[in-house]
Amino acid sequence: MPVPFLDLKAAYDELADRAEPEMLKSLRSGWYILGPDVARFEEAFATYCEARFAIGVANGLDALRLALMAVDVGPGDKVLVPSNTYIATWLAVSQCGATPVPVEPDAATHNITADGIRAAMQPGVKAVIPVHLYGQPADMGAIMPTARALGLKVIEDAAQAHGSSWDGRRIGGHGDAVCWSFYPGKNLGALGDGGALTTDCPKMADKLRMLRNYGSREKYKNEIPGLNSRLDPVQAAFLSVKLAVLDDWNARRAAIASRYLEAFQWTDLILPKVAAQADPVWHLFVVRHPDRDGFAARLAERGVATLVHYPIAPHAQAAYADMGLTDADLPVAAQLAQQVISLPIGPHLSADQCEQVVESVLVSV
């Protein structure tokens, strides 16, 4: 029996009876940009994230760009970003005309730390983007006071972390703005592209609402040069239904993660480290193997699908060749790119499939 990496069709099927009437209502409402369905989801999502405000946008990359625009990051500025992240974190900075400055992560948690931020600090840095990678929250308890002491704005990339907490508080309102993606494969995935920002700051929320909508608060009155980046009502209607099951679905992921952590504890695999204050949501279950590609091939022979997040670090991408950064400059990111491999995990991975992954890993490692 083949084990898929993630089964999006099964996720849709479980929600179809509840979601289809809501989407149909939205389609038949005659309201196709922003409006009541988006407002209703924004309110529910803010509450879920323990934040005061949520603003629905077109995708996660736009959420990051809008947050940077809102804190006035532009040409000549620098922004600290993790050296190992999905490339969107870096691209958002570049698209504002600013320069990404990589921060090496803690190899065990895969996330950047307050010490890493201090070490990477240089003149011209205006903001930092901690990423809650793979659903593991970064150490916001240490990062916030450090960033404040350095005079930095904090934009969080929470595209993989819907529902995770640091020290008992949900990710969503620690930093100045928190950026979310509803790309279908994320824990809170839509049926297409979508994104949001959350924040506790009323001024930030107000500015983001303008920036996502042509810089306009009132129709045909444009106060600042904004984007057109809005969450679709029909996606919002679907996301409202999915949000109601998110904790349950995250708990299913956590059960699989505990099984893997227990089953693989005596192997040579390097397992994900969960910080004591972290309550992760296991967007991905990422382990390290010195011969990653051989390990992946042996798992594939047994029908277990795996992926690599991510095989090429941003600094090594052709898109960033002009920065002249080499693997020797960012050895942690370079080594992670060579060794990480993601095992199947998701709310629709059955107990049998989970055991098949366990057995296959134990004989392939």
Q: Which residues bind ligand PLP (CB under 6 A)?
A: 59-61, 85-86, 88-89, 131, 157, 159-160, 181, 183, 193, 195
Judged by CB, which is closer to ligand PLP: 46, or 196? 196
Q: How far is the CB of 4 from ligand PLP (least distance, A)?
A: 19
Judged by CB, which is closer to ligand PLP: 183, or 214? 183
Q: Which two tokens stand for residue 24?
A: 């149909």
Q: Which two tokens stand for residue 290?
A: 């010195």
Nearest to 176 by CA among 264, 51, 294: 51
Judged by CB, which is closer to ligand PLP: 133, or 361? 133
Distance CA 194, CA 56 (A): 8
Judged by CB, which is closer to ligand PLP: 85, or 353? 85
Residue 214: cis peptide before it, omega within 30 degrees of 0: no
Alpha helices in 112-163 (DSSP H): 114-120, 140-149
SS3 call for 329: coil
- Beta-strand relationship, 169-170 and 125-128: unpaired
Q: How far is the CB of 144 from ligand PLP (least distance, A)?
A: 19
Q: How far is the CB of 139 from ligand PLP (least distance, A)?
A: 17
Q: How far is the CB of 219 from ligand PLP (least distance, A)?
A: 27
Q: How far is the CB of 101 from ligand PLP (least distance, A)?
A: 17
Which amino acid, 295?
Answer: F
Are 296 and 341 in contact by the 8 Å Cβ rule? The answer is: yes
Distance CA 227, CA 214 (A): 5
Judged by CB, which is closer to ligand PLP: 77, or 157? 157
> CB within 8 A of 163, min separation 6: which ones?
48, 170, 187, 188, 246, 247, 250, 281
Are 98 and 131 in contact by the 8 Å Cβ rule? The answer is: no
Nearest to 116 by CA among 90, 91, 82, 157: 82
Q: How far is the CB of 42 from ligand PLP (least distance, A)?
A: 17
DSSP annotation of 321 reads G
Q: Which two tokens stand for residue 194?
A: 């979508």
Cα distances (angstroms) measured from residue 113 to each of 119, 142, 145, 238, 313: 10, 8, 12, 35, 18
Q: Which of 126, 186, 207, 242 is catalytic?
A: 186
Judged by CB, which is closer to ligand PLP: 46, or 131? 131
Question: For this structure, is 186 an active site residue?
Answer: yes
Q: Which residues are catalytic?
A: 186
